[in-house]
Amino acid sequence: MRQATKDKVKDDLYRRRHSLAHVLAQAVLRLRPNAQLGFGPPTDNGFYYDFLFDQPLTSDDLPEIEEQMRQILKEKQVFERRMIPVDEAIEELSKRGATLKAEYAQELKSKGETELSFYTNGSFMDMCEGPHVENTREIPHNCFKLDTVAGAYWRGDENREMLTRIYGLGFDSKKDLNDFLELRRLAMERDHRKLGQELDLYVIDEKVGVGLPMWLPNGTVIRDELEKLAKEVEFKAGYKHVATPHITKASLYYTSGHLPHYQEDMFPPMELEDEEPYYLKPMNCPHHHMLFASRPRSYRELPLRISEYGQVYRYEKSGALSGLLRVRGMAMNDAHIYCMPEQVEDEFERVLEMHRYYYKMFRLTDFWMRFSIHDDAKEKYVENAKAWEESEAAIQRVVDRMDIRYEIGKGEAAFYGPKIDFQIANVIGREETASTNQLDFAIPERFGLKYIGPDGAEHTPYCIHRAPLGTHERFISFLIEHFGGAFPTWMAPLQVRVVPISDEVADFAHKIKDVLHNDLFRTDIDDSGESFNKRLRNAITSKIPNMLIVGKKEAAENKITWRRYAVKEQQTMSFDDFHRILQTMRNQRIMDNFADVTLPE
């Protein structure tokens, strides 16, 4: 489909959703004539409208409102726009008792508006900029559904009236609506907050602090395996691993520019007697810059790649916190690459290739890049036209070679240089930023970082900030939802469960468990008093990837019956063969439900 056609489809859907919001408001006023209107915009998946009711409205009222909406659609009401002088509009709204709309119209007048846009359809009129469909018959009666009821303060002000917000879903067709509902059901089933609780991965307790996850043993396994993977990949790529403190003096953050420009996203200072304040670190880069500056550097050491899974702390507002996606304490897969100008392109390309490697490994196939550049019209950027031109040109050449889809975001660069964000689509297609890479030509100079070049003179290095796996918290939330909590063997919290059919084979079951445990496999035995089938169901519910069933025949022949999660066929084989396959799955980090695993030669 050509871009122009795509844009038209998008515009048509926007108009339909916006018109459905007006149809919703009209339907509500037919049933609740004393209701006052707030705002009613389209959304990414539909529409909503805010109302002030004299009597409460609940989700039980939605079917009746929905039926009234369908009746309005049949009436073939035409949407017509009128421009009304602002004073006349305020008078008309006040006369109708629409005090909220009149208040907003008065505010627009104070900002210099002389006319206001209104749309009418049938007997309904609303202050609105549009656009809308031509008439209500253009909207299929089965392409929408009223969804939920929630509270919302007028204009988002907690000191103002609490309104009732009715959310609706709206799509091009009934099929699209049903497809979305199925995707959402899947998303709710895979929600990392739900699965995190069911699988004992992490907890967030207000007594410790909101936004501060505590990892339970099962979640810590996933963290450790992810970090182990990153350290191996980085070791092979020539990175040097470091560790830095969680706090530092305020003066370091004045040098870096975090104070005062980033202060609102930092935790308050720790005031100490006779010393300058200390801060929890929001980023690792100032500490890494100090490591680079700890001794004289030669061009022969460059590129110098310093990496750390560093714990950082950022003050997110409580309303923005969301499970592991938005937290206040996070462990970042961070690294800083110090290099000469002629090394920038090659190093940046290596960084982007590392991203691609991880995403393909985890089967996160729906990803793309956002290339953020500066905007001369904005004052926040470092003034160095030549450096901006050269840096953005270098990254442009890299992304053009990568064969990865990308978009350009003008005015979205970091203040010290251009950046690449990797975007991924979650299980319902919603876009999330997974990780960021930045080319920094300004901060090394601010820190006085130098290396001795081939000419014997001092030069300032470029710095590449990169975090291909983002933070433990955010990336693991993606993986929980991506895998539905059923992790591949190499990173599963419990890799093997042995299920003896009877007490008579308990010794053999414990022998298997001990052999695997001594080979550092996470293994347990379910020899509880529950029925055999219940024990199998328990293992499936816990999403354990490998179940080993042992009975008298298996014990006599040193065999096991291997049952894999989400695989119908069971296999009976010697325990030694299974052990070798298990080692292959771990050592090669097999991802695909083990279907491609065979005995090593």
Contact 190, 427 (CB under 8 A): yes
Q: Give residue 5's pLDDT.
A: 41
| pLDDT beyond 50 at 7 | no
Q: How many whole angstroms separate alpha carbon 579 and alpha carbon 564?
A: 14
CA distances from 30 to 23, 71, 142, 148, 151 (A): 11, 11, 21, 20, 21
371 forms beta bridges with 408, 420
Q: Which tokens is 535 given?
A: 């024990």
Helix (H, G, I), strand (E, B) or coil at 245: coil
Helix (H, G, I), strand (E, B) or coil at 61: helix
Span 42-74, pLDDT tens digits: 998 999 999 999 999 999 999 999 999 999 999
Tell me the residue type at 260: P
Contact 21, 47 (CB under 8 A): yes
Span 183-235, pLDDT tens digits: 888 888 889 999 999 999 999 999 999 999 999 999 999 999 999 999 999 99
Contact 204, 317 (CB under 8 A): no
| pLDDT beyond 70 at 373 | yes
Torsion of CA 386, 389, 391, 393, to 10 degrees: -150
Contact 352, 437 (CB under 8 A): yes
In terms of average pLDDT, the best of 25-29, 159-163, 252-256 is: 25-29
Span 495-545, pLDDT tens digits: 999 999 999 999 999 999 999 999 999 999 998 888 989 999 999 999 999
Helix (H, G, I), strand (E, B) or coil at 73: helix
Q: Which residues contact 480 (CB under 8 A, 6 or more apart)?
A: 190, 192, 195, 196, 201, 324
Helix (H, G, I), strand (E, B) or coil at 562: strand
Instruction: Taking residues 16-32, report their average pLDDT.
Output: 96
Contact 127, 100 (CB under 8 A): no
Burial label, 73 (beta-carbon count in 10 A; 0-12, 13-18, 19+): buried
- Asked if omega into 303 is within 30° of 0 (cis), the reply is yes
Span 379-408, pLDDT tens digits: 777 788 888 888 889 999 999 998 888 888
Q: How many whole angstroms separate alpha carbon 491 and alpha carbon 481?
A: 15
- Better pLDDT: 469 or 429: 469
**Model confidence band, residue 1 (pLDDT cutoffs 50, 70, 90):** very low
pTM, whole model, 2 decimals? Answer: 0.81
| pLDDT beyond 50 at 289 | yes
Burial label, 578 (beta-carbon count in 10 A; 0-12, 13-18, 19+): buried
